[in-house]
Every structure is written in structure tokens, then in C-alpha cells.
Chains A and B, each alone.
Chain A
Amino acid sequence: MSERLHRLLLGLAGLAGFGLLLEALPRWGVVSDRYLPPTSRILGELFERARHRPLWDAVFNTLGTWAIGLVVAVAAAVVLGMVIGTVPLLRAFTASTIEFLRPIPSVAWISAAIVLYGPVKMGTLLIVVYAAFWQMLVQVLHGVADVDPVARDTARSYRLGPLARIRWVTLPTALPYLATGLRLAATVALILTVTGELFVGTPGLGADILRASSSGATAGVYALVVVTGLLGVAANLLFRTVERRALSWHPSVRTEVPA
């Protein structure tokens, strides 16, 4: 059979095996079924919840917070990154500040977000935007820095204005980096959206998980975790496709810029 079909079948077999394992463990008494309900019960709970509105409200809330946070962070990072990246002096002066602010864990803002905004979108957005922004900024800066000096000089000798230069020289070079940055930022943003909902209480999947957990509805917690995972997988697939499209014409293959 074809290579792809072979891989697909193996993948499905892996998933099935995993599901069976989680069905067997509680049923055989290896783990208490109060702490790990069997897969069948989790899926049952999932389908039950999918039939009612609250689950979908939560999904939309999470997606909404995620989208807003991502758009804001990416827009800010691209603009700032392009500006800083093209002016060497700016880059030199801001390097230390960026290196200092970047590793600050965004969860440090959880406490502040809670106090400032309470369980509304803004609190979680603070955390999401902060983390996603830095992911994207770093990639943009590397993208701009990677511009071929010959191409840049050629553009200058043809007297292309700064905007035209960005469009024809900088952007195409930086595009793979931007695509990678987008994927990384999106991943981080989703994780922090759900985290924010869990701790700050913003409406969404994270908040629902907290509520299910507080009511002792363990199967519900697992069901919501599955939904969150599926969302993450879908997001990852989407942005990987985007990244591949952006890379498809680029001669060299780039991966995440290390360090």
C-alpha cells in the first residue's frame, strides 16, 4: 500500500492503542476509576457535553481570546520588529532591554491580571499578548537581520523608497521567519489563553475545567482536556500548513532559530 496510507493507518492504530490502554487501566483496577475514568466514560461525557450550548460557548470564548491576543501581539511584533530591525542603531540600543524582558515568564503577570481585571478577557489577554509578542518579535528581528546585503544594496541603488524596500526585499526574506514566528506565537497564545482562564477565571475552556474540577466532575474534566488538546492539534496543523506554504518557494530550509 502507499506510503501515506501506511503512515495514516499506523497513526490511527497508535491512537486506538492509546485509547484502549486508558480504557483498560481503570477497568483492571491498576488506577482508581475515580481518578482516571475509562476512555468510554470520558468520550461519553464529551459527546453529552457537545450536545449542549455551554461547551461551544466555552470553545468560542477560548478561540476569541486567543485570536484577539494573537492578532494584537503579532501586529505589534511585526511593526516594532521591522522598525527596530531595519535601523541598526535602534537594534543595538534595544537589544539589552529585549533580552531582559523576554525571559520574564508571563505567568508572573497572573497575580497582577487577577487583581487588575478580575475574570474578564482583559486579564487573560494581558498574559497572552505579553508571551506571544516576544515569540514573534524575536523571529521578526532574525528575519530582518537575515536579509541578503547584496539584495539590500541593489534595492538602494535603484532608489527604492523604504516602504518599497520592505515590500520587495525585507518581507520576502523574512517571510519564513514570520511564518515560524506565527506558529510559535499561536501555540504559546493558546496555551496561555487556557492557562489564564484556569487561573484568572476568564470564561472559556479553562474556566469550565476549573468549575468541573470544583464540583468533583472528574469525567467532565478529562472530556474538556480532550477538547483543549484537539483545539491545540487543529491550531498546530493550521499554522504548520501556513508555514509550509510560506517556505515552499524559499530556496533554503529554515527551522526555529536556535537560542
Chain B
Amino acid sequence: MRVLGWLLWRLVLIFALPAVLVALWWQLSADSSHFLFRPLSEIWEAFRETWDRQRLVEDVLPSLNRLARGYALSLVLGIGLGVLVGSSRTLRSLLEPVLEFLRAIPPPVLIPLIALFAGLGDARRVVIIIAGCVWPILLNTVEGVRAVDEVLADTCRSYRIRGGRRLYHLVLRSASPQIMTGARQALAIGIILMVIGELQGTQDGIGHTIEQFQTSFQYAQMWSGVILLGLLGVALSLLFRLADQWVLRWYHGLRATEKER
């Protein structure tokens, strides 16, 4: 009985405010004749019509596919280079200003330049995603690798733990909380760049579809796309939270005990 009460209370907490907000939105927009702010009922209708199975396959899946590829490559590049740079003080000093400069350039600004090199297809869109995602991963990895605990490093040396094992158990493990921070930032950036990369020059994709609705003045459909994008962002965020819990399970446990002290 108590468990049921607790569950009910949790559900109320989660859905109460959103439900109120949606109801308010529905009411306030019901009589709207504004050309841009369509009634929520109309947007809902447009949502159901537009995002059917076919469009999910033709537009949403390719977008997610590009995001996945760009993100994965960013992880590989970012962590790989990050470990290299983070382990060598000379390399760090040498490359830091250049990297800081490159990462300060907003990726969308690079799009006209990327376009000159990467052609029209998927490659270009994946490059755009990498151009933005790699920096938080790279720089956070460098930070994480740099801050490996001296005592642990010495212990490894005395036990002659070297090479791949040292890399995995000492370096990557120590740096993983910091790397995950970078990975989380990169995910948010990746979603943004996935959309931006599709605003021009694609034939498919969520961002492309939203933009097409906007340029043909079909605003209810455009808003339905914005909502879909929001849902996607939430879903990916939840997925990341799960991954984070798993990868950093040792870290979260450690922090929990520290807090209790």
C-alpha cells in the first residue's frame, strides 16, 4: 500500500506541472488565427499526420544515423588525441593555444568552409558534427589524463603495469568522469549540429523537414517538427544518463560514500 502511495506521488511529481502547462497552451492557443502561432490542436493534428512510419524511416532514421556516426568518430578522435596530448606536457604546451583557438570557432561558421571540401553528401554532415563534438571530448580528456593521481601512477610503475593495461586501468579509468562530462556536452552539441547541417543541402533529415515546412509557410507542421526534436533530445539525454550510470558506476558509488562521511 505504501509502495503504491509512493509510486503515485512520484507520478504526480513528474506529470503535474507538464500537464498544467500543456493544458494552458492548448487553451490559450485554441482561437489563434495568427499565421505563425497555430492552435495546439492544429499542431497535434499536424504531428500525427506528418510523423508517420514512412517519415520516421525516411527522415528521422538518417538523421540519427549521421548523429551516431559523427558522435562515435568524435569519441574515437577526441579520446585518442586527448590521451596523447594529455600525457605529454610538451605536447600540451605546444598545442594548447591552437586547440583553444580552433574550438572557439562556432561550428556553424565553418559550414561554408566544410562545404568547399566535403561535397554534398552525408560525409559533409558527419564532418560538421565532428567539427563541433570533438572539442569538449578532446579537451576534457586532456584535463582528465593530466590529473591522473600521482600516487596511483607511481603504484603502477612499481608494479610494472605498462602499456595497454596501464592505459585502460589507470589512465582511462581515472579520466573517465571528466571524459563523460565532455561526452555529455558533445551530445548536446551533436544534436544541434545534426539539425544545422541539415538546414541546407540535404534531401532528408529532421532539420531538413522542419526547414522545408518553414520555407513553404506550413507553420503547424513546422512546430510539430520542433516538438519532435524536443522529444528526441529528451530521449537521447535519458539514454546518456543510463550509459553514464553504467560506465561510472564505480565513481558514483565512491561519491555517494564520500557524501555520507
Contact = CB atoms under 8 A, between A and B. Distances in A.
A and B in direct contact, judged by CB atoms within 8 A: yes
Contacts of A13: 94
Interface in A89-107: 92-97, 99-107
Interface stretch (B45-53, B68-76, B110-118, B155-163): B110-118
B75 to A, nearest CB: 16
B151 interface: no
B181 A103 contact: no
Nearest to A8: B93
Contacts of B117: 31, 35
Q: For chain A, what secondary structure do more than half of its interface residues adopt (helix, strand, loop), or is it mixed? A: helix
A112 B36 contact: yes
Contacts of A222: 113
B168 to A, nearest CB: 21
A54 interface: no
Contact of A96 (B18, B116, B143, B199): B18
The residue in A7, A97, A111 that gathers the most chain B C-beta atoms within 10 A of its C-beta is A111
Nearest to B147: A255
Given A97-B21, A103-B230, A105-B191, 10 more contacts: A14-B97, A31-B117, A95-B13, A97-B18, A103-B234, A109-B226, A111-B226, A199-B108, A259-B180, A259-B181
Contacts of B23: none
The residue in B17, B178, B195, B196 that gathers the most chain A C-beta atoms within 10 A of its C-beta is B17
A103 B93 contact: no
Contact of A10 (B90, B196, B214, B244): B90
Given A97-B18, A222-B113, A259 B184 contact: yes
Contacts of B108: 191, 194-195, 198-199, 206
B241 A259 contact: yes
B199 A110 contact: yes
Interface string B8-29: 0000011111100100000000
10 contacts: A15-B98, A96-B15, A96-B17, A103-B230, A115-B219, A195-B108, A228-B109, A233-B100, A255-B178, A258-B177
Contacts of B101: 15, 229-230, 233
A100 B244 contact: no
B96 interface: yes
Contact of A111 (B185, B211, B241): B211
Interface in A180-201: 190-192, 194-195, 198-199
Contacts of B253: none
B188 A103 contact: yes
Given A14-B94, A112-B226, A236-B104, A107 B192 contact: yes
A251 B259 CA distance: 16
Given A199-B199, A258-B181, A100 B234 contact: yes
B17 A18 contact: no
Interface residues of A, number: 64
B227 to A, nearest CB: 9
The 5 lowest CB-CB distance pairs between A and B, nearest first, are A232-B104, A103-B233, A10-B93, A104-B230, A111-B214
Given A94-B17, A221-B113, A233-B101, A99 B192 contact: no
A128 B170 CA distance: 40
A105 B229 contact: yes
B26 to A, nearest CB: 16
Q: Which range holds the interface residue count of chain B?
A: 35 or more
Contacts of B120: none
B177 A111 contact: no
Interface string A4-40: 0011001111110110000000000001000110000
Contacts of B111: 198
B106 A195 contact: yes
B113 A100 contact: no
Contacts of B233: 103-105
Contact of B17 (A93, A191, A229, A232): A93
A108 B195 CA distance: 8
Contacts of A256: 181, 185
A46 interface: no
Given A15-B97, A195-B196, A258-B181, A112 B222 contact: yes
Interface in A227-259: 228-233, 235-236, 255-256, 258-259
A15 B101 CA distance: 9
A255 to B, nearest CB: 7
Contact of B234 (A99, A115, A198): A99
Contacts of B244: 258-259
Given A103-B188, A103-B230, A109-B226, A198 B181 contact: no
